Amino acid sequence: MGELFAVRWQERPDGPVVQLLDQTRLPGEEVVLDCADLETLAEAIRALRVRGAPALGVAAAYGVVLGAHTGWTPEGAAAYLTSQRPTAVNLGWAAARTAAAGPDPADLLAAARRLDEDNAEACRAIGRHGADLLAELVDGDVGLLTHCNTGMLACQGIGTAFGVARTVFEEGRMARLLVDETRPLLQGARLTAYEAGALGMPHAVLVDGAAAALMAAGDVDAVLVGADRIAANGDTANKVGTYALAIAAAHHGLPFLVVAPVSTIDPATPDGAAIEIEERDADEVRTAVGAVTLTPSGSPARNPAFDVTPAGLITAVVTEAGVARPVDEAGIAALLAAV
């Protein structure tokens, strides 16, 4: 496995590029994609070549700089990039924050690099807070279950939910990491298993429908998930299937932790009902990642890419600024005030 990264800025004699490790090609091939213009980067965002809320933020930040080199205003580039996917708040947050440092491309680049570094540092702090919380909640070695991909590929740093799992593993306290495959695009099976395997973590991939049964069997001590947008009241949008996991965890009396940087909290969104859920192409459901057709031809399919877990089902929100527990408006406001 080569060096794992999600996004990086590269100066070239013929102009700068935003480089992405194309996540649609993993785990089979490590293909680096050079985005020399905003249209290429926008396509990569829509196609999930770069994905995961924090990594989308870093991509948007460098994208605003790329825009400044290719004839866009910072504000125009930020608006264009923000419109590519609606649910992850980090995309628009990072684009706007970087654009505010303009219009000089050198100032924009300094702002994007700072955002990238802050993000990596936040992931390390999140790992520490989450591991400490798990030590409080669970005795002995910990069996964890996670959904989608929240590691280096989704964050650029060590990850959010995955960063907590990694910290627990490095402390020698991990019994196992159960990885939901995460239909339809299999971010768990393709990406989280790839990252866990590279680190030597004890892990196993399962079909999403097996999660509740493995909770009932006693294999899970806590569920860790990331977030795409956390509303002011703590309701949280994350990869579709998260809500069902939260219900199953509550039924089995298991801690359900949402793990994310404070930048994923959107104080302008009062609650989950106000979060726009991305509806993706139905062919993602009708096929196995495009390779095999699964349904009778012409079968209707629905493909909401995210769902909303109500705050009441979330044991804690873990961020770099600390932990909200219980998860309510006051707890979320305290996290925002702490950064």
- Distances in Å between the Cα of 206 and the Cα atoms of 96, 180, 213, 242, 318 are 38, 5, 11, 15, 25
Active site residue 228: yes
Smallest distance from ligand MRU to CB 261, Å:
8
By C-beta, is 36 or 125 nearer to ligand MRU? Answer: 125
Contact residues toward ligand MRU (CB under 6 A) are 48, 51-54, 88, 148, 150, 154-155, 160, 187, 226-228, 238-239, 305
Closest residue to ligand MRU: CB criterion? 226
Smallest distance from ligand MRU to CB 104, Å:
31
Tokens matching residue 144? 């964890």
CA distance 179 to 125: 23
Smallest distance from ligand MRU to CB 155, Å:
5
Smallest distance from ligand MRU to CB 102, Å:
26
- Distances in Å between the Cα of 229 and the Cα atoms of 17, 40, 42, 213, 311 are 28, 25, 20, 28, 12
Tokens matching residue 117? 């570094």
By C-beta, is 68 or 192 nearer to ligand MRU? Answer: 192
By C-beta, is 226 or 272 nearer to ligand MRU? Answer: 226
- Distances in Å between the Cα of 149 and the Cα atoms of 16, 32, 180 are 29, 19, 9
Tokens matching residue 62? 């460098």
Q: How many CB atoms lie within 10 A of CB 57?
A: 28
CA distance 179 to 187: 10
By C-beta, is 98 or 192 nearer to ligand MRU? Answer: 192
By C-beta, is 147 or 176 nearer to ligand MRU? Answer: 147
Q: Give the containing element (helix H, strand E) for 316.
A: strand 316-319
Report which residue type is found at 272. Answer: G
Q: Which residue among the candidates 180, 228, 235, 266 is catalytic per the annotation?
A: 228
CA distance 180 to 165: 14
Smallest distance from ligand MRU to CB 179, Å:
12
Q: Which residues are catalytic?
A: 228
